[in-house]
Amino acid sequence: MKNTLVVMVLLMTIGCQAATSQHDDLTETFDKYIRATKSDSPAEQLEYLHPRVFDFISKDTLLLGLELIKQSTMIKAGNEKIVSKSDVITHDGVQYALLTYSQQLSMDVSDMKGQGGANVAISLMLNELKSQYGADNVVFNEKLFTVEMTTTNYVYAILDSKYREWKYLPKTKELAHVTEQVVPDTIRQRF
In sequence order, what E strands does 53-132 have?
A: 75-85, 89-91, 94-108
2-190 folds as Nuclear Transport Factor 2; Chain: A, (3.10.450)
Please return the burial class of 139, using the count of CB atoms within 10 Å of its CB with bins 0-12, 13-18 and 19+: middle
Tens digits of per-residue pLDDT, 147-166?
999 999 999 999 999 998 99
At residue 71 the predicted structure's pLDDT band, cuts being 50, 70 and 90, is confident
At residue 13 the predicted structure's pLDDT band, cuts being 50, 70 and 90, is very low
At residue 112 the predicted structure's pLDDT band, cuts being 50, 70 and 90, is confident
Please return the burial class of 145, using the count of CB atoms within 10 Å of its CB with bins 0-12, 13-18 and 19+: middle
At residue 24 the predicted structure's pLDDT band, cuts being 50, 70 and 90, is confident
For the ranges 71-85, 106-120, 153-167, the one whose mean pLDDT is highest = 153-167
pTM beyond 0.85, yes or no:
no
Contact 98, 25 (CB under 8 A): no
Contact 147, 106 (CB under 8 A): yes
**Percent with pLDDT over 70 in the chain:** 88
Q: What angle do CA 33, 36, 40 make, to 5 degrees?
A: 170
DSSP, collapsed to helix, strand or coil, labels residue 90 as strand
| Residues pairing with 151 in the sheet | 103
